[in-house]
Amino acid sequence: MTRLSHIAAGVALLAATTLSGIARADNQDVIDYRQHIMKTLGEQSQSLAMVMQGKAPAENVAMHAQILAVTAATVEAAFKEKVAGGESKPDVWAKWDDFSKRAKELSANMADLAKTAQAGGVDAVKPKLQAALTCRGCHETYREQKK
C-alpha cells in the first residue's frame, strides 16, 4: 500500500509537471492530504521519542521538534473542510469548536517545544514532552478506533 501509493505519487508528479495544473481537490484528496499530515506527525513523534530515549541521535531533537511544529500548524486547516471518511469521526465537524481549539493547542505546544529543543536540546525538552504531545486525548475523541 505504501509502495503503491509512492509509485502513484511519482506518476502524479509526472502528470503535475506535464499538465497545465488545472486540478481540483476532490473528497478523496482531502482525506489523503490530511492523512499525510497526520502520518508525518506520527513518524516524527515516534522519531522524537527515540531521540528522547537515547535510541537516536540527540542532535536531531530540534529537527524533529521543528518538523512537528510546522506540520502541526497545518492540522486545523487540513480538517476544516467537512469530508467524512478516513479515520475521522463525524464529531470532528459536529464539535468543530473543540477540535479546532485542540488543533491550535497542539500547534502552540509544538511551536514551544521546537523553540525549547533549539535552545536547550533533549534535557530541556524532557519535562515538557508529555504535556505537549496531546495526540492521544484527541485521537480518543475524534479518531475511529480500528480493530
Using CB under 8 A as the binding rule, whether residue 106 contacts a second copy is answered as: no
Beta bridge partners of 85: 88
Please report, to the nearest 10 degrees, the dihedral formed by the alpha carbons of residues 99, 103, 105, 107 taken in order: 180
Pick from 61, 65, 66, 119 the residue near a second copy by CB under 8 A: 66
Using CB under 8 A as the binding rule, whether residue 119 contacts a second copy is answered as: no
Q: Which stretch binds a second copy (CB under 8 A): 8-16, 93-101, 104-112, 113-121?
A: 8-16
Q: How far apart are CA 147 and CA 145, in angstroms?
A: 7
Q: Which stretch binds a second copy (CB under 8 A): 28-36, 88-96, 97-105, 109-117?
A: 28-36
Question: C-beta of 122: minimal distance to a second copy in Å?
Answer: 8
Please report, as a single letter, which amino acid is at residue 41: L
Q: Which stretch binds a second copy (CB under 8 A): 91-99, 101-109, 112-120, 125-133?
A: 125-133
Question: C-beta of 144: minimal distance to a second copy in Å?
Answer: 10
Long-range contact pairs involving 82-85 (C-beta distance under 8 Å, separation at least 24): 83/27, 83/30, 83/31, 85/27, 85/28, 85/31
Q: How far apart are CA 104 and CA 123, in angstroms?
A: 25
Using CB under 8 A as the binding rule, whether residue 52 contacts a second copy is answered as: yes
